[in-house]
Amino acid sequence: MVIKVYIASSSGSTAIKKQQQDVLGFLEANKIEFEEKDIAANEENRKWMRENVPEDSRPASGNPLPPRLFNDSRYLGDYDAFFEARENNAVYAFLGLTAPPGSKVGELL
């Protein structure tokens, strides 16, 4: 199982940049392995992300915006879903991973 984080390296939105940094920083700090997939520099990444975000998780108009998280090809959610899981100390459950022993962020949702 590989956590994939779809980001845009050249986003003009400071909000998106901050959200991406927040997700990546959290994963790095907690030593959670992940792959960073840049949709700005790679058309295949952009196409794959847009095709694999479920209909009910897409914006009413336009395309899904990063950051978006997947466990292999299973869609996990956007920044808001990640943030909520983090606030509830349920990041490992959100990511579909087993929490390390004694981990505070491992409780179930």
- Domain-embedded: residue 105: no
Give the CATH number for residue 81.
3.40.30.10
Distance of CA 18 to the CA centre of its chain: 13
pLDDT at 42: 97
- Domain-embedded: residue 101: no
- Report the predicted TM-score, pTM, of the whole model to 2 decimal places: 0.91
- Domain-embedded: residue 106: no
- Domain-embedded: residue 71: yes
What is d(CA 106, CA 89) in angstroms, rounded to the nearest whole number? 6
- Domain-embedded: residue 80: yes
pLDDT at 109: 41
Residues of the domain holding 69: 3-95
- The total domain count for the chain is 1
Could you tell me what percent of the chain has a pLDDT over 90?
84
- Nearest CA among 77, 70, 66 for reference residue 4: 70
What sign results for the dihedral spanned by CA atoms 3, 4, 10, 16? negative
What is d(CA 52, CA 104) in angstroms, rounded to the nearest whole number? 31
